[in-house]
Amino acid sequence: MAGKGNSRYLKRLNAPRYFGVHRKENAYVTKPNPGRHTLDKCVPLSLAAIKLSIAHNNREAFKVIKTGAVAVNGKAIKEPKYPVGMEDHISGGGETYKIGVNRQGKVQFSKVPKSEGAMLYKVIGKYKERGKRTMLRLHDGSVIEANQEIAVNDSVVVRNNAIEKRLKLEPGASCSVIDGVHVGTRGKIGSIIPGSMHKQKSLVVEGESGRLETLVGNIMVTG
């Protein structure tokens, strides 16, 4: 029989570590729709609602989300399988939470003020559009126009769909490790080690537990 695309189902045994679910509690877990974040760095909105105690189980989460009671980045979302990931803001139950990652590589939520409208994004790509406009590809799959010189692996603070501030990848900048064996570590960039034909560009991070070295692609500049 001919293949008809990727499976719409996901078994808990095969779920990415980022989901943070019990492997044998049930057979399946909701699979997020494709788009925005990669599968290994996002969770479906229904699972996020359960983890935030907005709903108690999957059936209740689907009902709550379909009423428009849960918002992502200030916009009401009615799709339970909507993918949410790093630095997204989820509002529901009168509170707003920001998505991150813990030291075990699993999804983590931290409470933020509802008045905080600025979003943090990592720049993962850059290209020129017609009219020589500079466009940036952000870590959540979105694209934004840049009116200033911003490099790949920098971070940008976005408010009202416009870049408010550039956070440059440079020694002394605050950062978070979002992937790799040191995931969840926070610290400051000590030095940047140039890459070569046989080795990727890396950097030294001075974290809470000492100095560590990781790839540039594994960190996000936060300040």
Band of pLDDT at residue 148, cut at 50, 70 and 90: confident
In a domain? residue 4: no
| 18 pLDDT more than 90 | yes
Extract the runs of DSSP E, i.e. beta strands, from 70-115: 71-72, 75-76, 83-85, 89-92, 95-101, 107-112
User: What is the per-residue pLDDT across 159-191, written as a single tens digit (0 to 9) for each?
Assistant: 888 899 999 999 999 999 999 899 999 999 998
| 196 pLDDT more than 90 | no
Domain hosting 178: range is 174-221
Residues 91 and 127 in one domain: no
| 8 pLDDT more than 90 | no
pLDDT for the residue numbered 115: 64
Q: Which residues contact 87 (CB under 8 A, 6 or more apart)?
A: 98, 99, 100, 119, 120, 121, 139, 140, 220
Residues 217 and 134 in one domain: no
pLDDT for the residue numbered 131: 77
pLDDT for the residue numbered 22: 92
Phi, psi of 58 (to 5 degrees): -65, -40
In a domain? residue 1: no
Question: Distance between CA 176 and CA 100 in Å, rounded?
Answer: 10
Phi, psi of 180 (to 5 degrees): 90, -175
Question: Distance between CA 118 and CA 176 in Å, rounded?
Answer: 18
pLDDT for the residue numbered 83: 95
User: What is the per-residue pLDDT across 71-103, written as a single tens digit (0 to 9) for each?
Assistant: 999 899 999 999 999 999 999 888 999 999 999
| 155 pLDDT more than 90 | yes
User: Residue 140 corresponds to which tokens in the numbers above?
Assistant: 């959540």
Band of pLDDT at residue 2, cut at 50, 70 and 90: low
In a domain? residue 186: yes
- 71, 87, 112 - which closes a domain: 112
104 vs 136, 208, 221, CA distance in Å? 30, 16, 20
User: What is the per-residue pLDDT across 198-216, written as a single tens digit (0 to 9) for each?
Assistant: 888 888 888 777 888 999 9
Q: Which residues contact 77 (CB under 8 A, 6 or more apart)?
A: 45, 65, 68, 70, 71
Residues 139 and 85 in one domain: no
CB 52 within 8 A of CB 93: yes
Question: Distance between CA 64 and CA 49 in Å, rounded?
Answer: 9
**CATH label of the domain that carries residue 90:** 3.10.290.10
User: What is the per-residue pLDDT across 25-67, written as a single tens digit (0 to 9) for each?
Assistant: 889 999 999 988 999 999 999 999 999 999 999 999 999 999 9
CB 84 within 8 A of CB 99: yes
pLDDT for the residue numbered 200: 85
Residues 145 and 193 in one domain: no
Per-residue pLDDT, averaged over 100-121, amounts to 87
Residues 100 and 124 in one domain: no
Residues 22 and 75 in one domain: yes
Nearest alpha-carbon partner for 48 in 31, 61, 60:
61
User: Residue 96 corresponds to which tokens in the numbers above?
Assistant: 């707003």
Residues 157 and 125 in one domain: yes
Q: What percent of the chain has pLDDT over 70?
A: 97
Split into its structural domains, the chain has a count of: 3
In a domain? residue 34: yes
Band of pLDDT at residue 1, cut at 50, 70 and 90: low
